[in-house]
Structure 1
Amino acid sequence: MGKKVKTFEQQCIAINNQLKAEPKGETAKAIYRRTMGAYPVYRTWHRKLIHYCSECGGGFEWIGQKECPHCHVKFTDAPRQYQRREVMYHMELEAKGDIQLTRVYRAERWTQYGRKSYTDVWEVGRFFYAPNGERRVFARSVQGLSPYYDAFSRWSPITIRREGRHMSWAAEMRYNLSMNTYHVRSLTQQWKYKNIPELMKEYDNDTSVLRVIAYPWAETLLKTGQEAMFRHMVRNHEIMPKGTEHAFKICSRHHYVINDPTLWMDTIALLKYLHMDTHNPKFVCPEDLRALHQQLLERKWKVDDRRAERARITRMENEMKRKAEQDKKYAEMIENWPKHFGNLLSLNLQSTNLDIRPLQSIDEFKQEGDTMHHCVYAMGYYDYNKKPNCLILSAKDGEGKRLATIEYNTKDFSIVQCRAACNQVPERDEEIRGLINSNTATIKKLVTESIRKSA
Structure 2
Amino acid sequence: MKPRTKIQHEGFKMNSNVIDIQKHIETWAFKECNEKIGLATKTKFWCIDCGEYHPISLVRNGKAKCPNCKVDLTILQSRKRKYYQRYWVAFAELSSGELMGEVQVIRLFEVQSNHSVNYMPQVYVKESVRQFIPENHSKIQYVARMRNMGQEYPCCGDLEIRNVSNYQSWNYNPYPYRYHPWSQFKTRYEKIGINKDLQGLSFLESTRILSYNSKAETLLKLGQYGLFSECSNNEGRIYRYWNSIKIALRNKYNIHDAGIWLDYLGLLEFFNRDLNSPKYICPKDLKTEHDRYVKKKNEHDRRERLKAQREKLANEEKAYREMKSPFFGIAFSKGDITIKVLESVKEFMEQGDILKHCVFASEYYKKSDSLILAAFVNDEPIETVEVALNTMEIVQARGIHNNPSPFNSDIRSILKSNMGKISNIYDSIKKAN
Q: Is this a same-fold pair by TM over 0.5?
A: no
Between structure 1 and structure 2, the one with the greater Rg is 1
TM-score by length of 1: 0.40
- Tell me the TM-score normalised to structure 2 length: 0.41
Whichever structure has more strand as a proportion of its residues is: 2
